[in-house]
Chain A
Amino acid sequence: MKDKFYVNIKIPVILMTLFIFLIFSCNNKETENAAKAEKDSTKPEIIKTQKVEEYAVEAPPFSDGIYPCTDCHANIVANPERRVLTEWHEDISAIFNHDSENRWCLDCHDLKNRDYLKLASGKLLDFKESYKLCGQCHGEKLRDWKVGVHGKRTGNWNGKKEYLLCVHCHNPHSPKFNELTPLPPPMRPEDIK
């Protein structure tokens, strides 16, 4: 009697289990084959990062009322002597920390054409292209920036990207990054209910 009971129960159960396993294993094989076929199919075309030659970026806004410089400077007799500015631009004097021992305003700003920057060669440069000025000394950074490694890019990895100019992140008069307040740390595992 006992034996029969086992037979009655066991066989259908075993058959059922086998059947289920069969279904699952079939499914798995199918997917594996499908994946393989996908791999073997003709060499796919590589999706390329769109090459960008032009670095025309909207420059960050000037501080209020500071540009165009000629608004004030047109009526001032230019003084090319190196000194610490105390009457005007003292806010910049206060923070100026960009090789300040060896440099001052007129190393980057032009004496006669106040609305322009000046390269070491004497060539004038629009404020919109300030990155070329930075690149005179920081050539390595400029090179990395052009390929998108230094600095930040947003947008599409395979298409249109938005750039930031050097001066979006670095204050040209004090380029070191400010410290940031960190967001809260994760909960300790023991505090998670």
Chain B
Amino acid sequence: MKKENSRRSFLKNISLATFSALALSGCNTEVFDEFLQKNFRTLSKKEKDKIIKNLELKYKEKYGKEFHVSDKPAMEGTLFGYALDLSRCVGCRKCVYACVKENNQSREPQIHWIEVLQMEKEKGIDFADSNVQYNPEKVPEKGHFYVPVQCQQCRNPQCVTVCPVKATWQEPDGIVVVDYNWCIGCRYCMAACPYGARHFNWGEPTVPTEEINTEMHYLGNRPRKKGVVEKCTFCIQRTREGKYPACVEICPVGARKFGNLLDPESEIRYILENKRVLVLKQELNTQPKFYYFFGI
């Protein structure tokens, strides 16, 4: 008898396989729920609460600690801005590692949201000639200056424009966030970002249990999965509670400034009005809310 491997039988089998898989996973409702979970922005309060409760339980099971996952929305009347004093930064990379710790970035494979570029004073800001691998005994090195680069939180974010599934968007307080559950890992956003600020989880991210930060935000530093994109969120879990981002708090030379762009009394507004300010790759019209300035 002729073996039947027509399209019909293929479809029949595949649908059977899908249904049985679904039926099997149906016993474990969590997996099923997570699979069918909607985009974060379309979730109701009730749905969010349920998801967050499940996440907290899941993390507790995995790490054996109490976790707090927040879904606090943007405060009204805030638009976050950041300024970095290029005349002060000495390139010590303390911010890089403070960020890793605060935001539960993967240690292995390594992910750093902040990259510190060493540049030559003679050449000015020149990305082609910059060096992230500098490793002298002491910094700053003579004739060099340092440009830390992280997500520039553009007002016109191209990463958001290109996302085919709307898994990334700009919040009302100006923070560009990623819904790690909705991200399909196509990495279009990484190609679109002119600052190299987005990072892909090529492998299953690992964070040591004793170092994990248990204060989390759903759109921020909660553990990511393999195959999703992540980036700086201005420490959304801190700044929405009124605190400064971790990189601001660690900087030993006070080069990093953060505040509300809508408040005329804020540090950030003072800088914009009184200092020489620049943004990176201005010609691309991304309109960053991350400014670099010369404090001297």
Contacts and interface: CB of A to CB of B under 8 A. Distances in A.
A27 B43 CA distance: 10
Contact of A47 (B8, B77, B138, B253): B77
Nearest to A28: B166
Interface in A136-193: 144, 147-159, 164, 169, 177, 179-188, 192-193
B91 interface: yes
Contact of A49 (B8, B93, B263): B263
Given A5-B7, A147-B267, A185-B135, A47 B41 contact: no
A39 B134 CA distance: 45
Contacts of A39: 172
A89 interface: no
A69 to B, nearest CB: 30
Interface in B117-146: 132-140
Interface residues on B, range: 35 or more
Interface residues of A, number: 46
Contacts, number: 139
Contacts of B275: 149
Contacts of A47: 75-78, 260, 262-263
Interface stretch (B153-161, B224-232, B241-249, B280-288): B241-249
B263 A182 contact: no
Contact of B251 (A152, A155, A159): A152
B260 A49 contact: yes
Nearest to B83: A149
Nearest to A26: B42
A144 B75 CA distance: 28
A44 interface: yes
B80 to A, nearest CB: 8
Interface of B: 7-8, 11, 38-39, 41-42, 75-78, 85, 90-94, 96-97, 109-110, 112, 115, 132-140, 166, 172, 202-203, 239, 242-244, 248-249, 251-254, 257-260, 262-263, 265-267, 270-271, 274-275, 295
Interface of A: 5, 9, 27-28, 30-31, 34-35, 38-39, 44-49, 51, 144, 147-159, 164, 169, 177, 179-188, 192-193
